[in-house]
Structure 1
Amino acid sequence: MWRKRLVIPFVFLLLIGIVSCQKKAEVKGVNLKIDFSEENLTDNLITDMQYTWTIDDNFAKFTQDLNIYVHFWHGENLIFQDDHFPPVPTSQWEPGKEYVYSRRIYIPSFIDEFDPEFKGEETLKLQIGFYSPYDRTGESMQEVYSQKLKVTPPPLDTPEIIYEEGWHDLEEDPQSYLKQWRWTTKEARCIIDNPHRDALLVIRGGVNLEALPEQKVIFKINDQVLDEFIPEESHFERSYNIKKEMLGDKDEFILTIATDKTFIPAQVIPNSQDKRELGLQISFVYFR
């Protein structure tokens, strides 16, 4: 059941008002080194991105806490971004210091292998810099780092994920936190190709705390419980390094996503006509 591509729906927010062709000021005294946990970058990939900020004696202290923009461009298209505030606020940065931290990113599927002009790899342009969180015009942008990244398609043996039983149809709301999701019933199953090696599993989702307080989330691989937890917030993301022994010897394995409670919106939400049995709101299942 191998296929060439694993396509997982995922939507990324764009910073309102930023114009890509706008000239950006440079920042003296700030040097940035970027490292990825994966040696070879592909699309449809989760990887850790390490930032090493080195501040030298030419640095003029920031007067406010600036946001960091991290933009990945494919041609003129902004494929995704990871804008963030650094763990140490920029107003506290000092000459002679180094600030290091990592953030996990997801490179979405964007390569068209069937394009006649495709030559085996694509190029993403990575741009990183500062901007004021109060600016929506792009005028405060100060570029620090720019690099071209070579990106190839995933390996041919990338596992395919099939949403089997226990799932409702895909839903979308660009204004919501999860953007896209599928509701489960009390128990839902995915059939996934067994790569017969260790792999990373990431599950992102949500619960309705008002309808179901203290709702338990249960993940199983085949018949073995992987994790049980009660989310403290309405959204969660869990990552697991799965050992190949847990996947078994068959060419496929079953991922079960279950809960101890379900609700029917029409019975608990005023004016709702939704009579479905809803369990968990799952937006992202990644296995590679």
Structure 2
Amino acid sequence: MSVPFVFEEYRGVKPLAACVVMAMALSAVAGCKKKEDTQPPVATATFSSSRAKAPLGSPLDLTYRFVVAANAPAFDKEYRVLVHFLDSDDQLMWTDDHFPPTSTKDWKPGQRIEYVRTMFVPQYPYMGQATIRIGLYDPETGARLPLGGENDGQRAYKAGSLELLPASDNVFVQFKDGWHNAEVAAENAQVEWQWTKKTATLALRNPRRDATFFLHFDGRPDLVPGQVVTVRIGDTVLDTYNLTTTEEIIRRIPVTAAQFGEAENVDVTIEVNQAFVPAQTPAAKSSDPRELGIRVFHAFIEPK
């Protein structure tokens, strides 16, 4: 907040009255200042990424660490981790809020909590330095706990940074045959997926070197017991996975330069042994007439 210092008449107000107006404005400025957080921190959070620079759309392994204060009181609730990714103007781009794998109810004074989450960088229209701020909050009330570190005034603490690069640095992957139209989550426009049919094909330019194929998906083994997902190039099977959970899965599939072959373009086939039609599956309670295999959130090739 800035105050226009005008020594003469202040927008038609006489000098004496102007002093009063300015005094009130200065008081307002003081009121806008962030108050110091006097409560002792219950923990200190830090963050690191598998890469300091990441193209949009690429996968990252994010390591979250919390060191619980030696004098921290017992955590009486299951708190959620707040993770905000901000641009150079401190504007929120996206979040990675989550519950830690070890419930905060089980955190002990002096304990170090560390875990890794894999995230695909959203296709957000921004390139440059991103700041990561972390906090702990009560999901029922939104109340945040005091942590150690640089506070933004709302108990979101600077924990690290990341440089975002253009998506053109990635190997282009095209959803070719056997795919339904893309869909977006109603509660979060950053979450997008495409359902496969029984067999679906991805087309990509041959990287001509060893790479890792990341496949982020889920399925419905609760509706179709015994679902098996096979990934192959031609007749060469790269990966076989038995679906036993409806939770999202990220498979990291190694692919050698020899398996990519010599062709300029390569087709990667994703095949499900059993597809299903929700409208013909009573347990699905759906009128959807499509043949569905698995729901794919990301398919990404990372050359080595």
Report the AA paired with residue 63 of structure 1: D
TM-score (norm 1): 0.74
Instruction: Provide the residue aligned with 2:72 in structure 1.
Output: 59
| C-alpha deviation, 1:40, in angstroms | 2.0
Instruction: Provide the residue aligned with 1:85 in structure 2.
Output: 99
CA shift digits 1:193-247 (9 cap, x unpaired)? 2222333322222333454222222111343112222311224413224243332
Q: Which has the higher contact order (CA 8 A, sep 6+)?
A: 1
**Structure 2 residue corresponding to 1:189, chosen from 182, 185, 201:** 201
**Structure 1 residue corresponding to 2:109, chosen from 77, 80, 95:** 95
| C-alpha deviation, 1:56, in angstroms | 4.1
Q: Is the 8 A contact 1:166 1:185 kept in 2?
A: yes
Instruction: Provide the residue aligned with 2:182 in structure 1.
Output: 170
TM-score (norm 2): 0.71
Residues 73 and 241 of structure 1: is their aligned pair in 2 closer, same or farther, counting only changes over 3 Å? same
CA shift digits 1:80-132 (9 cap, x unpaired)? 222223233323333333222222222212235xxxxxxxx423231101111
Instruction: Provide the residue aligned with 2:125 in structure 1.
Output: 111
Instruction: Provide the residue aligned with 1:248 in structure 2.
Output: 261
Instruction: Provide the residue aligned with 1:260 in structure 2.
Output: 273
Structure 2 residue 152 is matched with structure 1 residue 140: no
Residues 34 and 250 of structure 1: is their aligned pair in 2 closer, same or farther, counting only changes over 3 Å? same
Which runs of 5 or more residues in structure 2 are unaligned? 1-33, 147-154
Report the AA paired with residue 286 of structure 1: F
Larger radius of gyration: 2
Residues 241 and 218 of structure 1: is their aligned pair in 2 closer, same or farther, counting only changes over 3 Å? closer
Give the distance between the partners of 1:54 and 1:266, measured in 2 at CA: 50
Report the AA paired with residue 199 of structure 1: A
Residues 223 and 277 of structure 1: is their aligned pair in 2 closer, same or farther, counting only changes over 3 Å? same
Q: Is the 8 A contact 1:157 1:195 kept in 2?
A: no
Give the distance between the partners of 1:54 and 1:82, measured in 2 at CA: 20
Match of 1:41, SS? Answer: strand
Which runs of 5 or more residues in structure 1 are unaligned? 1-21, 113-120
Q: Is the 8 A contact 2:135 2:144 kept in 1?
A: no
**Structure 1 residue corresponding to 2:51, chosen from 25, 33, 38:** 38
Match of 2:109, SS? Answer: coil
Structure 2 residue 129 is matched with structure 1 residue 123: yes
Structure 2 residue 206 is matched with structure 1 residue 202: no
Aligned residues: 256
Residues 278 and 40 of structure 1: is their aligned pair in 2 closer, same or farther, counting only changes over 3 Å? closer
Residues 232 and 72 of structure 1: is their aligned pair in 2 closer, same or farther, counting only changes over 3 Å? same
Instruction: Provide the residue aligned with 1:48 in structure 2.
Output: 61
Q: Is the 8 A contact 2:68 2:109 kept in 1?
A: yes
CA shift digits 1:132-152 (9 cap, x unpaired)? 1322xx333543631563523
Give the distance between the partners of 1:60 and 1:248, measured in 2 at CA: 59
Give the distance between the partners of 1:243 and 1:147, measured in 2 at CA: 34
Q: Is the 8 A contact 2:42 2:145 kept in 1?
A: no
Report the AA paired with residue 86 of structure 1: P
Q: Is the 8 A contact 2:279 2:287 kept in 1?
A: yes
